[in-house]
Structure 1
């Protein structure tokens, strides 16, 4: 098998991925991912039509993100204590009720901004209860964890392209209430699919206090040098490469080309993600994090392209490559965490990973504007590209990440 890396690879025996359990889990994830991709459009249009302006949109979206970041660690402990599936089903049901409430409120008129912010904050809390279980569910429904992660990543990329487009059409024709109704329905479908899974009985963690379990999760997270090293490096990468690049890159493209070009570029980024997910299914490096550094390096193209004042063709090619890179990394990283961390600790350890990533990228978006006003937008994007390459190199320099070996299938 030919690979895009000179790293040695392992040969995985052919196994059936599309078992009844995986089909149900795939249905749950794809429907909720499609709904998640529709939310920013529906929420932005709804808040703007209600007369609350761009600041209102920021408060609504920010309240959701803040709740996710603040409650993620709690969600990790609860998933280990009460099982991941139970928490995911409860979270889906809560989000179904909350977003159905949003649909009703917008159908009746313009809800108050406070009401919107509170409902989105509660929805973010539910998301924080749901997300830690995503990591531990994959090994339970699929024997070939990397292939399953690749397929799920392809679905996520496609949802990222189709969701906003569908939401844009629906909200222009029917208004935000219809989109919120569809959005809430995706959570109901997800909950039903998760309930239908036939899994081995997993005994939930018990006995220790909540704080003890939270502390144990941190200790296990910190004790794995490869894991702690990646997250430490990502503090720089997530903030000053990913976080800074997204808003400033969008502004540069809209200024130099137009908003339609931005939409096409983001679609190319999503399509590239599907390609990266496909490559991650086929390429099985024995040193996953060393190979994953290629993904970080490729994403560094994302901030470079807007800085070069590209035409549309260059934009599409550059962002498609960047999308494939970050998708490849995402699959490799998820598979590594899921196969290297014991199942009884996975939800808590993964929660620390996600919480750190969310906070870091949110911080990057927050400081992007002030930094650009000091350095200039193009110099900042070139700096982000250079830093991205440095961070990718660090994954190869740090012994714990460079030497980590894949867990061979039995």
Structure 2
């Protein structure tokens, strides 16, 4: 596998480079997990209602989706670290602006939307480099992805709780200030990495030719576009539809406390799944990763059974473990199978597919719930999840793909 930059010699997973990269990702992921709480409370307190919260989150997501492919090309042209540092600094300024706006008064909705859209654009510039940086800072890519997934799961558990406490005591402005600071820490860690700069000659290609080159490579790999094609169905009808619907089911049965405990169990499952993925080296990784798809199907079906909080936690623990295991296996496969000079662009297509699927699922959740009812829809979601898992295993290019040793 070729890369557009080469790290200095590394002797173990816990090299100085990987520790810095882990520090960068952990702090920014913790801040990202705090954002929905701060943004929701701040927008509601400003009097813009639930619709305002949706507009604010939608402005971020829409900008992210619209600019992701641009970010992939720029990461290959300029080098991922340079673009990631720039994106972090932009997000630091944007979220500091949010903090200032909430501290001095009540910001207008249009200002919130503009700032969140700018944050979404910066995230689109940052995200493609996430995949290509891992092989540069760690020799054991799969173990590194496992550690990063565990850090993400922990951030997903701690971030909302921490954000909720801070916003209730100090207000949303303080949380946005802390959120901005996480990007400053991330940028500092990334700048401290000891990796060589990207070759300057690569920028001689036009933007369009690089975008087309990335698409051709994506299209030429049957296992890659096969997984993404199946995920468009799976992501839409399983996590995309289930995430909003099961919240209503669980809250109705066990209250918001039950939902919170269940989500904590799901986050703990993410830690477990990352730990398992660090310690397994399946010969056929994507076939093994299909186990994760099947386990995640517990997420929509368990609440329908009305099992009570303890059994809900068991089911969601396994669902979280399955999703985390798949994410580590998938990330490692992409990072080791795609040439480094194309990885940022190809990964951008991957992220776009995921965003489309999840967004479509959330849009369909309300109408489908009205059509089938919440419980029946979750049973349908589970059935589609298992069918997609079978399709993943039935495709020879996916099932037979072997790992890079």
TM-score by length of 2: 0.97
Q: Which residue of the partner structure matches residue 5 of structure 1?
A: none
Q: Which residue of the partner structure matches residue 399 of structure 1?
A: 396
Question: Is 1:263 aligned with 2:260?
Answer: yes
Cα offset for 1:44?
0.2
After superposition, where does 1:62-141 map in structure 2 within 5 Å?
Answer: 62-141=58-137
Cα offset for 1:203?
1.3
The answer to whether the Cα contact below 8 Å between 2:146 and 2:275 also exists between their aligned partners in 1 is yes
Q: Which residue of the partner structure matches residue 357 of structure 2?
A: 360
State which of 300, 304, 308 in structure 2 corresponds to 1:307: 304
State which of 221, 226, 233 in structure 2 corresponds to 1:224: 221
Question: Is 1:335 aligned with 2:309?
Answer: no
After superposition, where does 1:127-166 map in structure 2 within 5 Å?
Answer: 127-166=123-162
The answer to whether the Cα contact below 8 Å between 2:24 and 2:187 also exists between their aligned partners in 1 is yes
Deviations 1:261-310 (A, max 9, x none): 11111111000000000000001101000000000000000000111122
d(CA) in 2 for partners of 1:389, 1:371: 19
State which of 25, 30, 51 in structure 2 corresponds to 1:34: 30
Structure 2's unaligned 5+ residue stretches are 1-9
Cα offset for 1:109?
1.0
Cα offset for 1:317?
0.5
Cα offset for 1:329?
0.1
Q: Which residue of the partner structure matches residue 345 of structure 1?
A: 342
The answer to whether the Cα contact below 8 Å between 2:20 and 2:189 also exists between their aligned partners in 1 is yes
Cα offset for 1:208?
1.8
Cα offset for 1:374?
0.3
Cα offset for 1:15?
6.1
Over 4 Å off, 4+ runs: none
d(CA) in 1 for partners of 2:301, 2:55: 30
TM-score by length of 1: 0.95
Q: Which residue of the partner structure matches residue 11 of structure 1?
A: none
The answer to whether the Cα contact below 8 Å between 2:304 and 2:375 also exists between their aligned partners in 1 is yes
SS of aligned partner of 1:355: helix
Q: Which residue of the partner structure matches residue 8 of structure 1?
A: none
SS of aligned partner of 1:257: helix
Question: Is 1:319 aligned with 2:316?
Answer: yes
The answer to whether the Cα contact below 8 Å between 1:15 and 1:144 also exists between their aligned partners in 2 is no
Moved more, 63-72 or 198-207: 198-207
SS of aligned partner of 1:192: helix
Q: Which residue of the partner structure matches residue 12 of structure 2?
A: 16
Cα offset for 1:207?
2.0
Cα offset for 1:215?
1.0
Q: Which residue of the partner structure matches residue 272 of structure 2?
A: 275
SS of aligned partner of 2:237: helix
RMSD (Å), alpha carbons: 1.0
Deviations 1:219-242 (A, max 9, x none): 111110000000000010010011
SS of aligned partner of 2:203: coil
SS of aligned partner of 1:36: helix
